[in-house]
Amino acid sequence: MPTGKIIVLTGPSGVGKGTLVKLLLARHPELYLSISATTRNPRPGEIDGKHYYFVTKEEFEQTIETGQLLEWAEYAGNYYGTPRDRVQEQIDRGRSVLLEIEVVGARQIKQAFPQTLCIFILPPSVSELERRLRGRGKDSEDAIARRLKRAQEELVASTEFDRQIVNDNLESALAEIEAAIFN
Ligand code: 5GP
């Protein structure tokens, strides 16, 4: 049986990665979405084990030390990381795994697995990104400011990745992602 691939979707917070992933999974249920661990507090409606594994800082640091993460990064004051075993298990079963992660983690994956397809999702503009971050009403003003600052740094890194796709229109962005993955 052929092994599965890792596919990374990266780009700034608020660019619409989550929505694109949801649509992609609905159309391609054969893909497996990796569930990350994070030290961030759950937002209203987020479920442990479904949206993230919500862990303490101590628990997260323990998983780093014991090599249980495929990649990890600090983002806007919290840790985020991809559990190694679950991804490996799916790949061994021949299933392709989708990672929706920020840029520092995406770099780590590309370095460890150079064959990985890394897609960078761009906003139509920085002002539109800011509008989307505020519009989703999920984060405090302080968190939005940290995310916007980080977004500026992340956007500069977009050309490091295999593909750059602008999320101006959901349907066309999705079609471009599908073409990159399945062609
Ligand atoms: P949020 O707090 O909005 O859920 O996520 C913040 C950022 O962390 C987003 O850009 C998201 O893609 C990224 N992220 C989520 N899970 C992981 C992970 O496992 N590793 C890394 N490096 N970034 C992640």
CB 53 within 8 A of CB 83: yes
Residues lining ligand 1, Cβ inside 6 A: 13, 17, 36, 40, 71, 73, 75, 80-82, 100-102, 104-105
Report the nearest atom of ligand 1 relative to the CA of 51.
Answer: 4
Protein residue whose Cα sits closest to atom 5 of ligand 1: 13
| pLDDT tens for each residue of 136-159 | 888 889 989 999 999 999 999 999
pTM: 0.95
Protein residue whose Cα sits closest to atom 21 of ligand 1: 101
| Rg over CA atoms, the chain | 16
| pLDDT tens for each residue of 30-54 | 999 999 999 999 999 999 999 999 9
* Residue from 71, 69, 66, 36 nearest 54 by CA: 36
Q: How far is the CA of 179 from the centre of ligand 1 (A)?
A: 24
- Estimate to the nearest angstrom the gap between the alpha carbon of 123 and the chain centroid: 15
- CATH class assigned to 6-182: alpha beta
Averaged pLDDT in 10-residue chunks for the chain of 183 residues: 91 94 97 98 96 98 98 96 97 96 97 96 95 86 92 95 97 97 90
Contacts of 79 (CB under 8 A, 6+ apart): 37, 38, 39, 57, 60, 61, 72, 73
Q: Identify the pLDDT of residue 137.
A: 81
Q: How far is the CA of 1 from the centre of ligand 1 (A)?
A: 31
Q: How far is the CA of 72 from the centre of ligand 1 (A)?
A: 9
Report the nearest atom of ligand 1 relative to the CA of 13.
Answer: 10
CB 168 within 8 A of CB 124: yes
Map tokens 């890394």 to a residue.
118
Q: How far is the CA of 27 from the centre of ligand 1 (A)?
A: 23
Q: Identify the pLDDT of residue 8.
A: 98
Protein residue whose Cα sits closest to atom 24 of ligand 1: 101
- Per-residue burial over 30-56, b if 16 or more Cβ lie within 10 Å, else e, is ebbebbbbbbbeeeeeeeeeeebbbbe
Protein residue whose Cα sits closest to atom 2 of ligand 1: 40
The dihedral built from the CA positions of residue 54, 59, 61 and 64, taken in this order, carries a sign that is negative
Q: Identify the pLDDT of residue 136.
A: 82
Q: How far is the CA of 80 from the centre of ligand 1 (A)?
A: 6
Q: Identify the pLDDT of residue 63.
A: 98
